[in-house]
Chain A
Amino acid sequence: MAARISYDDVEVGTELPVQSFPVTRATLVRYAGASGDFNPIHWNEKFAKEVGLPDVIAHGMFTMAEAARVVTDWTGDPGALVEYGVRFTKPVVVPNDDEGAVIEVGGKVAAKDDEARTVRVDLLVRSAGQKVLGMSRAVVRLA
């Protein structure tokens, strides 16, 4: 797979471009349909509050998908991804207003593997000033 970034051009500490991803209720309805995850906590405010949530929350897998884009946009080829993992630590709360929520994602190269020509990118994923994913790491094979 042909990543656009060359392994030799990347150092531990190299930062990936930060991106922001807006999320509204409409985003979640659309993601529910595309992913097949129709859990009402992602679209029904009454239900979400009944089970103790502050409001409707984004699908964890939606947040995981957005966070990956910082890596796949950087390498150009999503097929260069070797490993990707996250921990769902805090929900992304999505209010029913015109703005919704924003997921902010930054990434930094944390380790290099000379033999495999892969790098590990540690991602920082936040919404409303709080970290929403923990242990968010991607390993990518570079050119």
Chain B
Amino acid sequence: MALDQSFVGRTYPATEPYEVGREKIREFADAIGDANPVYTDPEAAKALGHPDVIAPPTFVFAITFRAAGQVVQDPQLGLDYDRVVHGDQKFAYTRPVRAGDRLTVTSTIETIKSMAGNDVVTVRGEVHDETGEHVVTAHTMLVARATEEA
């Protein structure tokens, strides 16, 4: 069943702040095998003009995807989460995420489409720091695959 178009534009409450830690960034950089010292060495980060170590570009997804859970699990929207796959992902950065950031995410349903029986929902997650400055916006397209009998 097609999702209700009137949910387009709906914005969910901002999340509680997520505090970005140096060791969490190190763990993530290790997990993707990236030895760039800007992720682990505050001096290397400062040499490039950053106040502290920065996070790899896709690090923030863990935070925005958790926030998108509000949309995915909204019983009124009725997305079938067991059938959801990640269709595409975009980030638009004002600045890199860095250690010490306290980030909040505000999620908005950007588009709802029905394609070949699949429900396609794009969620925009706007990430701000503790001073209210914009850090990055994540656009996450989720596809709920059509059920076989449909």
Contacts and interface: CB of A to CB of B under 8 A. Distances in A.
B54 A78 contact: yes
A11 to B, nearest CB: 24
B57 A2 contact: no
Interface stretch (B3-11, B33-41, B102-110, B125-133): B33-41
* Size bracket, chain A contacts: 20 to 34
Given A1-B49, A79-B95, A85-B88, A62 B32 contact: yes
B58 A88 contact: no
Nearest to A29: B31
B150 interface: no
Contacts of B93: 81-84
Interface in A52-100: 60-62, 64-66, 68-69, 72-73, 76-79, 81-88
A30 interface: yes
- Most chain B beta-carbon contacts within 10 A, residue among A35, A36, A60, A82: A35
Interface string B77-106: 000000001111111110110000000000
A34 B91 contact: no
A44 B54 CA distance: 32
Given A2-B48, A78-B96, A79-B54, A84 B31 contact: no
Contacts of A37: 62, 65
A143 to B, nearest CB: 11
Contact of B92 (A31, A34, A36, A83): A83
Contact of A87 (B31, B88, B92, B95): B88
Contacts of A83: 90-93
A135 interface: yes
Interface in B32-72: 32-34, 36, 38-39, 48-50, 54, 56-58, 61-62, 65-66
A139 B41 CA distance: 25
7 smallest CB-CB distances across A and B, nearest first, come from A85-B90, A34-B31, A87-B88, A79-B96, A65-B32, A65-B58, A34-B28
26 contacts: A1-B49, A2-B49, A21-B33, A27-B31, A27-B33, A31-B31, A34-B30, A34-B32, A37-B62, A60-B89, A61-B61, A62-B32, A64-B58, A65-B57, A68-B56, A78-B36, A78-B54, A78-B96, A79-B95, A81-B57, A81-B96, A84-B91, A85-B89, A85-B91, A87-B88, A135-B88
